[in-house]
Amino acid sequence: MNGENERPFADLPAALVEEMLIRTEPLSQRMQADFERLRAERHQHRQALEESGILRREGELPAVSVPTTCGVDGAYALERLVATDLVAAAAVAVEGLTPPSETRFWPEPRHRVYVDAEAHEEETGTLARAVMMGMELELASQAPHDVVFLDGSLTTPLIYFNQALNRAIQAPDLRLTAHLRDHTLDYLKAYHTVLQARRTDRAWVAVPKYSVRREIGERFKWEMDDRAMLTNLLEPGEFTDPQRLEPPRQPWHINLNLLSEEIRGQAEKLRDEIIHLLKEVRVVYYRPWAWLPALRLEMSRTVAENRARLATVIQALRFQCSAPGMLEPYPLYLADRMVKHLGRAVPALRQVTSQRLAVTYGGDIGDVFLNLHGYRTEGGR
């Protein structure tokens, strides 16, 4: 553990810390009341779940061999300097625990990276996030594994792409805008591949850590979201019958006006198919072990409604979630750990760039360090 984790209150005023600690008492009392009510109603909720026919068990699925897996995650970081913005986006793919009989090799590189300097614009972070997501989808679509795990929801790329392409029109001179113009079609093709899941030897599964959707809860009038409730209702080895993804409050859309006319028609066709495929996404909740909360799984209908392919996904999760210290599949855990460090790496990139500029710059060396002074770092995953 680093110093910040060991001393979480080190830089806070003592009176502020004391008041925060005092307020934890009523907080714990309210949470206890909620947990006690949930425990008292558990039998009733579980009985309703069983009677509905939604509850399934691993033993109902056909036996399959342990599949190969990988996890894909990404991050972006934006360091705002005095004279410019330093932008970095990266995506990594990490292979899961390898079954004993596996001999295939996935050649390097298993990552994508974008690094550049931009003029000051408010839209830069939104564009960098879309580039990050596009690189994740490219890695996922090319992975030669039986099951590919993606961090986040299957609907997230569409939201990020639409936001970025709308903002890019307002910032036509950014290098990120040019990058999106050149690569959006490739990103949409990768997205389409993941959602379509046509190959029977491939399954792409999104595993969002956080979700407030209630595909099942709406039916039973649960007060909590589905993942919270099913964590308390499912026994180890149980999962729910595939459910339709909760529809959005507003229709899905991707603005493609940024693209050139020669590729816009192809992109529009892909967009329409992607929106149709999103409507066919199925949701499954699965609890592999007693130490794990229920996992929300989003996948194509062609995977979820095929018993053999669904069995492969369930087997992959059971095998990759076998370590009690990790609350998500092993390859996603490692990928997440890697990309978290991108924000810390960007200041180091700035320092290396400054040193190289200082060697070759013909003017006052002080100008270099003054203009490349960093005062705020933003980022996300």
Write out pLDDT tens, residues 328-360: 899 999 999 888 888 777 777 777 777 676 666
Check if the beta carbon of residue 129 is closer than 8 Å to that of residue 160.
yes
Q: Going by C-beta distance under 8 Å and a sequence separation of 6 or more, which residues neighbour residue 206?
A: 149, 150, 151, 152, 153, 154, 297, 298, 299
User: In this structure, is residue 5 part of a structural domain?
Assistant: no
Closest-CA residue to 151 (of 279, 297, 343, 315): 297
Report the number of distinct structural domains present in the chain.
1
- pTM of the predicted model as reported, rounded to 2 decimal places: 0.87
Owning domain of residue 168:
59-342
Neighbours of 298 (CB within 10 A): 24
Residue 147 belongs to domain with CATH number: 3.30.2170
pLDDT of residue 1: 43
| Structure confidence by residue, pLDDT tens digits, 210-267 | 888 888 988 888 888 889 889 989 999 999 999 999 888 888 899 898 888 889 889 9
Assigned token pair, 64? 């399959």
H or E element: which one contains 192? Answer: helix 175-196
User: In this structure, is residue 121 part of a structural domain?
Assistant: yes
User: In this structure, is residue 11 part of a structural domain?
Assistant: no
Closest-CA residue to 370 (of 379, 361, 116): 361
User: In this structure, is residue 373 part of a structural domain?
Assistant: no
pLDDT of residue 172: 85
Query: How would you class 380 by CB atoms within 10 Å of its CB: exposed for 0-12, middle for 13-18, buried for 19 or more?
Result: middle
User: In this structure, is residue 89 part of a structural domain?
Assistant: yes
99: preceding bond cis by omega (within 30 degrees): no
Check if the beta carbon of residue 227 is closer than 8 Å to that of residue 211.
yes
User: In this structure, is residue 362 part of a structural domain?
Assistant: no
What torsion, rounded to 10 degrees, do the Cα atoms 53, 209, 33, 19 define?
Answer: -170
Strand intervals (E) in the chain: 55-57, 69-81, 85-95, 111-118, 147-151, 203-207, 238-240, 243-244, 282-287, 295-299, 374-380
User: In this structure, is residue 65 part of a structural domain?
Assistant: yes
Residues of the chain with pLDDT under 70: 1-6, 100-105, 355, 357-381
User: In this structure, is residue 14 part of a structural domain?
Assistant: no
